[in-house]
């Protein structure tokens, strides 16, 4: 999806109009890298950081079913400077039915808090194929979930994200309030043999941790355990092997 956005933006580079300064680009994909990727191709001034909070799934072609959480969109400039365009967009969204919007004091903190919630849950959920209630009820998987969340908290702090000291505890508490049978989109995609967000989730943790020389063993385990499924879903790997024995 991000490649399609960039391709479309590239086609319009020579056809800007006078309303370009009013344009805002807000990636809402899971993960923390998308705004920087967009800013490499677009005017960084129009690229915001953003995240959404919702539990939903694809029920059919063009049909997204909302199954939990009150839909919320949060966004802002990566350096958190004030911008009337951002305020105006948030106000417009808050007048829409079925969704709320807010501008966090620090959008990177908001993005990383979402990253801490969705990434360990996605990785452990995809490996275990269990819904969130089971992951939390079983002492062993709860411990794994907490440890993987702690890894991302430490990574954020190492990358100068001002995450509060109680972020891990609050993340687990938030997960406890999610509908018990909930699974993540990455988990569902991998189980069904579809391409997923693995690279943007656990892949990003491992990639960003290497840059600051931080070890993230559980997220690395999730990534490498699931990568073969991801490659197969993308047509880059076949599980069918012919024996060399006759």
Q: Where are the domains of the chain?
A: 2-233
What average pLDDT is seen over the chain?
A: 90
pLDDT band, very low/low/confident/very high, at 244 (cuts 50, 70, 90): low
CA 183 to mean position of chain CA atoms: 14
Residues in a beta bridge with 57: 65
Contact 222, 216 (CB under 8 A): no
Token pair recorded at residue 126 = 């995809």
Distances (CA, A) of 151 to 15, 98, 115, 226: 45, 34, 11, 18
Q: What is the pLDDT of residue 228?
A: 98
Using one digit for the tens of pLDDT, what is the confidence trace for 116-155? Answer: 999 999 999 999 999 999 999 999 999 999 999 999 999 9
* Whether pLDDT at 233 is above 80: yes
pLDDT digits (tens, 9 = 90+) for 36-85: 999 999 999 999 999 998 877 778 888 888 776 678 999 999 999 999 99
Q: How far apart are CA 155 and CA 219, in angstroms?
A: 11
Contact 196, 223 (CB under 8 A): no
Total-model pTM: 0.87
**Torsion over CA of 172, 177, 182 and 186, rounded to 10 degrees?**
-40
Q: Are 54 and 69 in contact, with CB atoms under 8 Å apart?
A: yes
Phi, psi of 185 (to 5 degrees): -65, -35
Interval 3-32: pLDDT, tens: 554 555 544 444 444 454 678 999 999 999
Q: Which residue has the tokens 């991000």?
A: 2
- φ, ψ of residue 187 to 5 degrees: the values are -60, -50
Identify which has the larger pLDDT, 229 or 66. 229
What's the CATH number for 2-233? 1.10.1040.10
More confident residue, 134 or 241: 134
């Amino acid at each position: 999806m991000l490649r399609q956005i960039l391709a479309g933006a590239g086609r319009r580079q020579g056809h800007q109009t006078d309303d370009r300064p009013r344009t805002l680009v807000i990636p809402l994909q899971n993960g923390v890298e998308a705004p920087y990727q967009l800013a490499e191709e677009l005017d960084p001034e129009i690229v915001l950081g953003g995240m959404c909070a919702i539990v939903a799934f694809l029920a059919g072609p063009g049909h997204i079913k909302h199954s939990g959480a009150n839909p919320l969109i949060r966004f802002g400039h990566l350096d958190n400077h004030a911008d009337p365009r951002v305020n105006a967009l948030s106000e417009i969204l808050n007048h829409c039915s079925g969704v709320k919007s807010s501008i966090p004091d620090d959008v990177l903190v908001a993005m990383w808090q979402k990253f801490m919630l969705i990434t360990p849950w996605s990785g452990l959920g995809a490996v275990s194929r269990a819904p969130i209630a089971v992951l939390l009820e079983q002492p062993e998987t709860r411990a794994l979930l907490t440890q993987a969340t702690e890894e991302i908290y430490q990574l954020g702090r190492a990358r100068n994200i001002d995450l509060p000291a109680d972020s891990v505890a609050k993340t687990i508490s938030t997960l406890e309030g999610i509908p018990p049978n909930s699974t993540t989109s990455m988990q569902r995609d991998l189980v069904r043999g579809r391409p997923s967000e693995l690279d943007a989730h656990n892949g990003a943790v491992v990639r960003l941790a290497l840059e600051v020389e931080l070890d993230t063993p559980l997220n690395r385990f999730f990534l490498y355990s699931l990568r073969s499924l991801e490659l197969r879903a993308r047509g880059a790997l076949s599980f069918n092997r012919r024996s060399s024995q006759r």
